[in-house]
Amino acid sequence: MGQAIAFYTLAACILGFGVLVITAKNTVHSVMFLVVNFLFVAGLYVLLGAQFLAVIQVVVYAGGIVVLYLFVVMLVNLKRPPEAHQDRRRRGRLGVTCSLVVLAELVAIAAYKYVSPAAGLPPALPMGPDNVAQVGMLLYTDYLIPFELASMLLLVAMVGAIVLAKRDL
Amino acid sequence: MTPITPVHYMVLSAALFIIGVIGVMTRRNIIVILMSIELMLNAVNINLVAFSNLWQNAAGQVFVIFVICVAAAEAAVGLGIILAFYRNKETVNIDEMSLMRW
């Protein structure tokens, strides 16, 4: 019961702020709504028993990435805001396409509900209360090479961002 | 009230993903478009964590860490490109970003 209330509250907030992100006229407001959205998603992770990811979500997304967006919004000082697309027919077609995609997805989900799920991944590490230890153990044993690749990716992205944003090399 | 099943999380994830898709397709400001992409990545993450919880297997959470890592790299490089483009063309409207169209 408590879990259901928490889920529906979090889901309503996530979807509501998601809609606000893409409808807000002012880009700074969009970024602020994005922060709130990420915080509610972190709450959902706690509900799902992934405490480590909730902390990562708050620190990396709400703390790091969004600050990057804010910096760019402030550096890109717009004299005239770019308008939304005004072509009505294009909007209509877009709406139909998106609704059809949603419909297909929901039908697939409902079908999944009635077909019994496939019989079983081997439970590699049963999740207990010690979420951080399990994620860390997987990260440094089974997924060591992807982990190192991810660190290389971050390094390359850092160098690339500096080169792109630098005024004159 | 019915208990919360993975289906609930999948529907939430699908809805959030579609919000991101609609943002990408309807907005003309490229910063908002990048934010919509972040929304879509978050929808994927919710799905991964929900299934990690269903199977009681922490591998899904490891993949969420990789997704967050790629999202950070994408945001850094994408915003760098936006800054470089803005310095040359003084716009963030994607309708005016047609340098490579022929």
pLDDT in tens, A132-141: 888 888 889 9
For residue B100, give how far its alpha carbon lies from the nearest alpha carbon of chain A (Å).
18
- What is the Cα A124 distance to its own chain's centre? 26
How much is the mean pLDDT over chain B?
Answer: 88
- Best of B10, B21, B32, B97 to substitute, by most chain A Cβ atoms within 10 angstroms, is B32
Residue A84, pLDDT above cutoff 80? no
Contact A82 B46 (CB under 8 A): no
Q: Return the residue of B nearest to A128 by Cα.
A: B56
Q: Which of A143, A26, A131, A19 is nearest to B36 (CA)?
A: A19
Q: What is the ipTM of this complex?
A: 0.90
- Is residue B46 a contact partner of residue B14, using CB atoms and an 8 Å limit? no
Would you list the domain boundaries of chain A?
1-77, 131-169
Contact A126 B38 (CB under 8 A): no
For residue A127, give how far its alpha carbon lies from the nearest alpha carbon of chain B (Å).
5
Per-residue pLDDT band at A121 (split at 50, 70, 90): very low
% of chain B beyond a pLDDT of 70: 98
Count contacts between A and B (CB, < 8 Å): 221
Q: Name residues 25-54 of chain B within 8 A of A (Cβ).
A: 25-29, 31-32, 34-36, 38-39, 42, 45-46, 49-50, 52-53
Backbone φ, ψ for residue B29 (5° rounding): -85, 120
Does the domain spanning A1-77 belong to CATH 1.20.120.1200? Answer: yes
pLDDT in tens, A1-12: 788 888 999 999
The residues of chain B scoring below 70 in pLDDT are: 1, 102
The 3-state DSSP class for residue A53 equals helix
The 3-state DSSP class for residue A129 equals coil
Contact A22 B77 (CB under 8 A): no
CA dist A19 and A11 (Å) reads 12
